[in-house]
Amino acid sequence: MSFQRTTEQPSHYRHLEKMSVQDILSNINQEDKTVPQAVEKALPQIENLVTVIADKMLAGGRLFYMGAGTSGRLGIVDASECPPTFGVPFGLVIGLIAGGDAAIRKAVEFAEDDTQQGWKDLLAHNISEKDVVVGIAASGTTPYVIGALNQCREAGIVTGSICCNAGAPLSAAADYPIEVVVGPEFVTGSTRMKSGTAQKLVLNMISTAVMIQLGRVEDNKMVNMQLTNDKLVDRGVRMLMGQLNLSDYEQAKALLLKAGSVKKAMEDYR
């Protein structure tokens, strides 16, 4: 079967400009409801990738996300949230985007069309066989990402991918491909919508499941989270009070701030 970009097929809806605001929102919502079902179908693929990432990271490797546009930005969001949420070092999960950091805020023309730059970006981070590289592209055709994954394969580096078209070239370039087929977008071709939502859901699953496997969560608590603002300090204090059966808020707060994390505070108290 020839490759078809279902993400680029015409919307199921016509004359959007004639819809009321209520109808626009209702129809977008109807489309969004289909995304978790598409993700569910890809759970076995997601499991395979999570397992290999966890194994590599337990052995001292890193996780790289690569993408262009919305896909690249979503990878950067997921990577940047791992240190504050799970207390891991910056640089353990790294997000790369075509066009560099400037492309996070503003599109960089033609950056995604460079088949060599992705590999150069990985080399700048001293990529090695210990690491895993996950390419993200809604269409599954982005040259920046595919070029990098092809080079990774030649170098013996494990790769995964996340895309929203079945049988995509990106999937062929990856050792552990994930395809979440969400179908046409509400606005034809606007893959920041359902495709972006699907990618975000999958990235949430990957990073959260991997970090649990790495021991960064206990029970259902973020015991290693960084205490970077008053809200998180308060959350940590209440978490500590519950875990240690403490009734004195200030005592728990003093323990937490001295230790620097809920996990360390629990260990020190015991």
Are 140 and 149 in contact by the 8 Å Cβ rule? The answer is no
Classified as helix, coil or strand, 81 is: helix
Inter-axis angle of helices 249-259 and 230-244, nearest 10: 110
Residue 164 is given by DSSP the state S
Tracing tokens 């978490």 back to the chain, one arrives at: 239
Catalytic residue among 8, 47, 81, 218: 81
**What is the token pair recorded at 66?**
């690569």
Sign of the dihedral defined by the CA atoms of residues 156, 157, 158, 163, in that order: negative
Rounded Cα distance between 106 and 223, Å, is 35
Q: What are the residues facing 95 on neighbouring strands? A: 65
Characterise 26 by phi-psi region: left (phi > 0), alpha (psi -120 to 50), beta (else).
alpha
Sign of the dihedral defined by the CA atoms of residues 66, 63, 148, 178, in that order: negative
Rounded Cα distance between 110 and 144, Å, is 10
Say whether 179 is catalytic. no
H or E element at residue 264: helix 262-269
Rounded Cα distance between 226 and 218, Å, is 15
Say whether 81 is catalytic. yes
Rounded Cα distance between 218 and 215, Å, is 7
Catalytic residue among 31, 112, 179, 185: 112
Residues with catalytic annotation? 81, 112
